[in-house]
Structure 1
């Protein structure tokens, strides 16, 4: 069985406080985007995991797809499988690619072996794997609070808009990104700004990581500014970086400044099945 784990963007990201467990509380809206990896799961005599495409750092046996299989294996009589991940979505880009891989592994195994788990049950398996993982189970716009893994409904629909994503081959670790943030409680909840017309967002919807990362990596701010110069209705860094996106009313023409970068563009939908 083959699936296509897609990525996400953050529409705004506010770091509101430091938690006793060392994590941070935040406000954000996760929105699915069609840039995808490829995950194949087939029956095998013994469990095995392999990958191709972009190199994945770390021990392959600790990959999130492997951990997803083991999480279900602990509760169900899963047969061995061969999992192969073709990695396309850049790592360290703030797009949640690894989290999507884990969530799609859970969903694929659930479907392939008829485990009968519903979306909320799958989300509970996904949460221990990473803060973003649970989002990709239902893969639709949600308002995220606490660590980013508690979801609330939000009426944000960007269907029909076009997105241009640029990754300048600059990986920013989560630890580096959080080291520069100063948590603060905003006067207005981010949800209120997001439910206003997208034309208002440039002045009101902000990613707090930009405050410390743009001075350190001016290239990221330059990419965002270029998007606005090319007619974007909204532009931002996604997550903790370093991918930057622009949202447009029509398919954008690729600026010459982006040659040599990893670029993806497509049309936005409200929900992505993969």
Structure 2
């Protein structure tokens, strides 16, 4: 294959995947857990830039880049490239990726999965591969259970091990805070601490929610089954949740994924002030404010 001509760099936001609910409903024979989850993608995330025709490689920058290896086969950006080359039967290089890592690592908001999804989108669009969304999802799933839902980065109901996706109900426009106490939590350790692996599924959601109050009342009927075991491993998560619930404008707070990042839904327009107030009190915590849309 002829190497692609030098092109202008293209950048995509690899949005955080936030679990507003997460029910663990079973476990397959191969060890994968079955989940029911409502996930959203606020405009908060890493940034991945790809330059086609440039020198091959991956450069990692940003406040959380230090803990990642740019030349490791375990890096999900590189694994996404390899998977796409295997699917198309073509060598796609030379390609240079620059990952600005602003999401904490091992923090329950799907940073690595979203980075892989952004890499798949960039290669498909910038190299004009013409793969449909369903084809990209088939490539994405072996990379990780969260990668398919991160491809579209749209609010979704997620079931099975992550491969069963359905559009989420219409949700009210509101603010969101993401807060991490600066601690990484091992996902396998959290699942191991979960004593009951077969729990009730999410209650059925309406087609839309009239306002934030109605939405949060429905969320109160849901759970994150990993929250209690995560707190048993990392008690600081409980401190974060207690702190968020006391902030002005916060209507609902919960841990995302397997932790340690927690979320708070706020009355729209109050998320920035709430985030600044929290940063003043907890300067060592990672705190980001955005909107649910």
Q: TM-score, normalised by structure 2?
A: 0.85
Cα deviation for residue 146 of structure 1 reads 1.0
- Counterpart of 1:21 in 2: which secondary structure? coil
The alignment status of 1:239 with 2:277, answered yes or no, reads no
Q: Which residue of 1 aligns with 2:169?
A: 155
Assess, with a 3 A threshold, how the Cα gap between structure 1 residues 22 and 233 changes in structure 2: closer, same or farther.
same
Task: Summarize the alignment of residues 211-230 of structure 1 with structure 2, pairs less than 5 Å apart.
Answer: 211-230=228-247
1:60 aligns with one of 71, 83, 87: 71
Cα deviation for residue 201 of structure 1 reads 4.0
Cα deviation for residue 46 of structure 1 reads 4.8
1:154 and 1:42 map into 2 onto residues whose CA distance is 34
Cα deviation for residue 185 of structure 1 reads 2.9
The alignment status of 1:174 with 2:187, answered yes or no, reads yes
Assess, with a 3 A threshold, how the Cα gap between structure 1 residues 189 and 6 changes in structure 2: closer, same or farther.
closer
Cα deviation for residue 184 of structure 1 reads 2.4
Assess, with a 3 A threshold, how the Cα gap between structure 1 residues 61 and 32 changes in structure 2: closer, same or farther.
same
Q: Which residue of 1 aligns with 2:292?
A: 268
1:191 and 1:244 map into 2 onto residues whose CA distance is 24
Spell out, residue by residue over 1:34-70, the C-alpha distance to the aligned partner (whole angstroms, 9 max, x if none).
1111111112465211211222335733211111111
Q: Is the 8 A contact 2:15 2:114 kept in 1?
A: yes
1:209 aligns with one of 203, 215, 226: 226
1:58 and 1:172 map into 2 onto residues whose CA distance is 19
Assess, with a 3 A threshold, how the Cα gap between structure 1 residues 258 and 198 changes in structure 2: closer, same or farther.
farther
Assess, with a 3 A threshold, how the Cα gap between structure 1 residues 265 and 194 changes in structure 2: closer, same or farther.
farther
Q: Which residue of 1 aligns with 2:4?
A: none
Cα deviation for residue 33 of structure 1 reads 1.5
Assess, with a 3 A threshold, how the Cα gap between structure 1 residues 194 and 258 changes in structure 2: closer, same or farther.
farther
Q: Is the 8 A contact 2:171 2:208 kept in 1?
A: no
Unaligned runs of 5+ in 2: 1-9
Q: Is the 8 A contact 2:21 2:37 kept in 1?
A: yes
1:142 aligns with one of 156, 170, 190: 156
2:238 and 2:218 map into 1 onto residues whose CA distance is 17
The alignment status of 1:48 with 2:34, answered yes or no, reads no
Q: Is the 8 A contact 2:185 2:230 kept in 1?
A: no
**Stretch moving more, 201-210 or 91-100:** 201-210
Assess, with a 3 A threshold, how the Cα gap between structure 1 residues 202 and 222 changes in structure 2: closer, same or farther.
farther
**CA RMSD, aligned part only?**
2.0
Q: Is the 8 A contact 1:177 1:213 kept in 2?
A: yes
Q: How many residues align?
A: 267
**Stretch moving more, 201-210 or 175-184:** 201-210
- Counterpart of 1:51 in 2: which secondary structure? strand
Q: Is the 8 A contact 2:107 2:258 kept in 1?
A: yes
